[in-house]
Chain A
Amino acid sequence: MRKVVLVVLALIVASLGVASAAPGGKVTVLCSPNLAWCDAVKADFPKATGIAFEYIRLSSGEALARLRAERQNPSLDVWFGGTGDPHIVANEEGLTEFVRPRAWNDLRPEFREAVAGKYIPLYAGILGWAINDRLLKEKNLPVPTSWKDLADPRYRGLIAYPNPSTSGTGYTMVATLVQLFGEQQAFDLLKAIHKNVAQYTRSGAAPGELTGRGEVAIGITFIHDAVDQVLKGFPISYNAPRDGTGYEIGGLSLVKGTLNRANALAFIEWALTPNAQRIAAEQGQSYQIPSNSKTQVPRVAPRFESFRVIKYDFVKYGSAAVRDGLVRRWTREVETLPK
């Protein structure tokens, strides 16, 4: 017994010694896109700059919650990716600050305009549906074409969409419906769709995966996430509703009050270079439209021309009051509605 205890103690002391190896320069990132992209950045960024890269993967709504929780003692340096609305909220609440990167003039002007100096655009993606045609055919159901089709009771248990309180994708969907139909009608529609929803997922990409696996027939997600599922080999198709759909401009923000500003800025500059943006599609299974106009757009990336995309009001729906109000209303009136 004594020997075992001693050996264990010795091992612990030894591993403590290993653990306390001092790190050089590093940047700590709140990473909201696909995990594969975060991993690809973790592999590439240190090679390009010599700065170590640590990340935590949180969906945009969760990321905002984390920044709010750490308001007094921020432990993160940069918020990389994720839908724009929570980036704007964070900026308005003083959790992040806008910095003008050197590559600013290379970024697509329409993106720069839409975000109104609240954050740096990183990419754009269009909201749509992943559709499992096989499952629909099995159930003898038509492929839905408009938002209102989703309320059809025949789709009961066959729909998934992300929870707007954790996922930026989910919020983009709610905000899109509000912009299309007005708030009251949008919530009536959401309540009707609620009866058909099998699962509200934590992240925006998960409905695509559920659709791919055939757990649901229709997953509301960003189309580039559905593209990822198709490329992975799932037998699904994707589309956007004919009555119009919203889009996101993914964000990049510097966390206010970080003790690690120089490295954080170095990361932001790097993330906007065409070389860095290319890895999203090449290694990161992410097929958005990159913000730097010099970055080649991935061949498979969904284009704005192919869908009926609304003029999404980022400034209004990114304001803290509007966002928190809509999320709260959804939580109280839709999510908790008995079925």
Chain B
Amino acid sequence: MARVLTVPAGRVQPNLTLLGWGGVTFVGALLLPWHRPGRDLFTFVAEATGLALAPSSPVILAILMLAAAAALTGLLPRPEAVRGRAAVFAGAAGALLTIGYTVAARRPFSGAEVAAVLGFLSVLGTGLALTGVLRVDAFLAGSILWVTVFVMIFILYPLWAVLQAAVVVKGQLTLAVVIDTLTSPGFLLVNNPATPRNETAMAATVGGIAAIFVATVGAVRRRPVRRIVGWTLGAGIGAGLFAALYLGYGALRNSVLLAVIVGVCATGLGFVFALLAERSRLRTRRLLGPFSILPIITPPFVLGLAMIYLFGRRGFVTHGLLGLSTSVFFGPVGVAVAQILAFAPIAYLVLEGVVQAMDAALEEAAETLGASRWYVLRTVVWPLARPGIANAFLLVAIESLADFGNPIILGGGKGFLATEVFYAIIGRFNPNEAAVYGVVLLGMTLSIFLIQRYWLGRASYVTVTGKPSGASPRPLPAALDLTATAVFVLWAVLILALYGSVFVGSVTKLWGFDYSFTLKHLRDLSPQGWNVFWTTTKLSAYAAIPSTLLGFLIGYLVTRTEFPGRTALEFSSMLSFAVPGTVMGIGYILAFNQGALLLTGTSVIIILAFVFRNMPVGIRSGVAAIHQIDRSLEEASTMLRANSALTLWRIVIPLVRSALLSGLVFAFVRAMTAVSQVIFLITPQHNLATTQILSYIEYGSQGRGAALASLLTVFMVLVILVLYLVNRRLDIGAARELAQT
């Protein structure tokens, strides 16, 4: 379909964007309330509308006039640049006035502020685009401003609140809490007084050995002296620190070791599964997709519960089959296994897309040039997969740091950073102490994040060019295929056994003692469980769409547009990616518990927590997908005079549709199974299935916990199945469309 835009000479068309946004702002500010009496966001207070307030409040009158002015600018018979300047003024002044009014009023905000701030930002964005300050069109300029404000309010502000709470106690700036917390033996003890050995000396020895080894290798290989010194220092300090952590005691040590081990193992498994899913020649290939992501559909700690069922001291396997009485899985080992099982699917999902998007033509070329399959794997596949692997590791490590369900259920009383945060808030309500732990977690994830960016550098990984490649995926070397498939089969059996035990647990009287069939646990869900299940589904569905779209939009903005502050925006939205859910959770209660931004106790704050927690996944998958699309496709669309909204809708979105749809499913699933970021936000009215299951397990109704977990599992499988079918139908539809053109 071609649309020809003709501009009649001598007459300026009205600017409908300005007219529209100005109008929306005006109507919203006039008819919606400016504040609310309680927590409920949707109470309509007639006395608080702009209509009622304007006569007595000059600020609101000014806001209304600015909105009207912005709308009229659109009709102004002047060149676009002149209109643009007027719009910039009206938009900026209006937004600032609105924010100033709300902050000064100190009353919980309501609909009018939302309409006015977003409306004025759109006007401002349109103005900036018209004047050429932002070298993008009105749609993208408005998007940039909206996204910036969202990121500032819902990511930066809560983090700021955490940092502040760590050093400001009762209005006084002090380092007392920081020092107190960090010197606590529960945080880190390098020398464990309970053991006879001297841990410091041992760590120093390990560091020394590593340094000598690296120096020797460097000298033998005749590397430049400066590099040898650098590597030696790095290896010595790194190995020493790691050894100190390994030998030490405390929450920091436990969390770091756990995150590293879980990160490496889960990423490895995820990569193996992704390769198998795309490249295996064995029949099992078809099973890879469903089995690799299965554990993601339940909250992580459900696997912890199943581990107790199967591998606990009275576990079905350990005690029933093998006759052992072991508590080895009751402790860090059990936590690590449960987390690897729970988080490998995240790695798989990241890596699946990466492996899928690799252009087989590159490998074909390498093979044609005489490279062996191993060599191709090492020199073509690995470099292409590297960014994905780094992403996967980062995601898994962060999830592991944030997860407190498994450590609480299986940790055997060992402290982890996430459980310390949890007990500091839930048990002692000491937000300052929790904030200090939060800052530590934040520091750790940020450093992994920075290391990862350093490692990836600025390499280009464009493989989708819009030109057909025609090569089919290259199969794996047979030995690798077989070994990897064996690992996968083991995994699948384990997962099935674990879920099977949860299902059996939900319909048997008493796991481990009385295996007779009963529906009692399922019936017992009726007063509370069903309600909670419905609430969870609803809130997760509300959150999934904005988090996917927002994530994709940010991904698009940071990869495809240039504007001042782009790097800052990218960094801030990635910041939320590098923040463990637990930290965001404290940030949200600290930031939104009072004043103009009062949101706690509502369902909206839970949705927002989901959106901004899961959005970074959308950003990552969006960036990854967009990176693989050749920019020339969009440039062609722009040259045919489509604006950016149209280009996004008709060119980019269809190309990344499957990434978007899986992003949507992923966002929904993650919201359904989220615990750490929302456990502090739930209320009796808005309780969530995950926290309810955790309650059931923790408060001694394991049967009921298993019943609710089974229900959740079955439901999630159904959802994923439906979306999978829809996606396939869409693919078929697209193929047909393509065939017709």
| Nearest-neighbor residue (CB-CB) of B411 within chain A | A199
Docked-complex contact B427 and A72, CB < 8 angstroms: no
Instruction: Contacts A198-B327, A234-B513 given; indicate if A72 touches B699 (C-beta within 8 A).
Output: no
B139 vs chain A, min Cβ distance (A): 18
Give every chain B residue within 8 A of A35 (Cβ-Cβ): 528, 695-696, 699-701, 704
A residues near B567, Cβ cutoff 8 Å: none
Assess the A201–B527 pair: CB atoms within 8 A: no
B593 near A72: Cβ-Cβ < 8 Å: yes
Q: CB distance A73 to B601 under 8 Å?
A: yes
Residues of A with C-beta under 8 A to B600: 73
B184, A336: Cβ atoms closer than 8 Å = yes
Task: Note all chain B residues with C-beta closer than 8 A to A202.
Answer: 408, 698
CB distance from A146 to the nearest CB of B (A): 23
Contacting residues of chain A (1-36) with chain B, CB-CB under 8 angstroms? 1, 4, 8, 11-12, 15, 19-20, 28-29, 34-36
Q: B702-741 vs A: 1/0 string, CB under 8 Å?
A: 1010000000000000000000001000100000000000
Evaluate contact between A1 and B653: CB separation under 8 angstroms.
yes
B730 touches A335 (CB 8 A): no
Give complex CA distance A59, B685 in Å: 18
Select A28's contact among B423, B654, B684, B704, beta carbons within 8 Å: B684
> What chain A residues lie within 8 Å of B698 (beta carbons)?
201-203, 206
Is A157 at the interface (CB under 8 A from chain B)?
Answer: yes
Interchain CA distance A206-B701 in the complex, whole Å: 9
Residue among A59, A69, A166, A228 with most chain B CB within 10 A:
A69
Query: Which residues of B are found within 8 Å of A229, using beta-carbon distances?
Result: 700
B589 partner residues in chain A, CB cutoff 8 A: 69
B415 at the A interface (CB under 8 A): yes
Name the B residues within 8 Å of A68 (CB-CB). Answer: 429
A232 within 8 A of B: yes
Q: A20-B42, A200-B413 are in contact. Are A215 and B702 (CB under 8 A)?
A: no
B527/A72 in contact, CB under 8 A: no
A338 contacts B249, C-beta separation under 8 Å = yes
A39-B524 in contact (CB<8A): yes
Minimal Cβ-Cβ distance residue in B for A15:
B538
Segment from A50-58, A98-106, A274-282 that makes contact with B: A50-58
- The yes or no answer to A165 lying at the interface (CB within 8 A) is yes
- B186 close to A (CB within 8 Å): yes
- Give the chain B neighbours of A39 by CB distance below 8 A: 524, 527-528
Q: Are the C-beta atoms of B193 and A166 separated by less than 8 Å?
A: no
Which of A20, A205, A335 has a CB less than 8 Å from the CB of B415? A335
CA of A38 to CA of B532, assembled, Å: 14
CA distance A30 to B509 in the complex (A): 29
Contact with B along A36-77 (1 / 0, CB 8 A): 101110110000000000111111011011101110110110
Given the known interface contacts A1-B730, A65-B425, A202-B698, the answer about A338 and B184 at a Cβ–Cβ threshold of 8 Å is no
Q: Answer whether residue A81 sits at the interface, using C-beta atoms and an 8 A cutoff.
A: no
Distance in Å: Cβ of A84 to nearest Cβ of chain B: 18
Task: Name the one of B194, B425, B682 contacting A338, with C-beta atoms under 8 angstroms.
Answer: B194
Residues of A within 8 A of B699 (CB): 34-35, 57, 59, 203, 205-206
Knowing A202-B408, A327-B428, A336-B250 touch, does A73 contact B700 (C-beta < 8 A)? no
In the complex, chain B residues whose CB is within 8 Å of the CB of A336: 184-186, 250, 415
The answer to whether B473 has its CB under 8 Å from any CB of chain A is: no
| B730, A213: Cβ atoms closer than 8 Å | no
A235 proximal to B (CB < 8 A): yes
Residues of B within 8 A of A339 (CB): 194
Q: Is A163 an interface residue (CB 8 A)?
A: yes
**Which of the segments B24-32, B168-176, B308-316, B366-374 contacts the partner chain?**
B308-316
CB of A12 to closest CB in B, whole Å: 7
Q: Which residue of B lies closest to A40 (CB)?
A: B527
Known: A197-B413, A202-B408. A234 touches B186 (CB 8 A): no
Chain A nearest CB: distance from B522 CB in Å? 14
Top 6 A-B pairs ranked by shortest CB distance? A336-B186, A65-B429, A165-B427, A214-B314, A54-B684, A166-B427
Give the B-binding residues of A (Cβ under 8 A).
Answer: 1, 4, 8, 11-12, 15, 19-20, 28-29, 34-36, 38-40, 42-43, 54-59, 61-62, 64-66, 68-70, 72-73, 75-76, 135, 138, 157, 163, 165-166, 197-203, 205-206, 208-209, 213-215, 225, 228-229, 232-235, 259, 327-328, 331-332, 335-339
Please name 29 pairs of A and B residues whose Cβ atoms are closer than 8 Å in the assembled complex, sorted by A.
A1-B653, A8-B545, A28-B683, A28-B685, A29-B684, A35-B700, A56-B684, A58-B426, A65-B425, A65-B426, A65-B428, A65-B429, A69-B425, A70-B593, A138-B325, A166-B423, A199-B411, A201-B698, A206-B699, A214-B512, A215-B313, A215-B314, A225-B700, A232-B510, A331-B428, A332-B185, A335-B186, A338-B185, A338-B249
| Additional 5 contacts, C-beta under 8 A, given A15-B541, A332-B186 | A34-B699, A57-B695, A69-B593, A73-B39, A213-B511
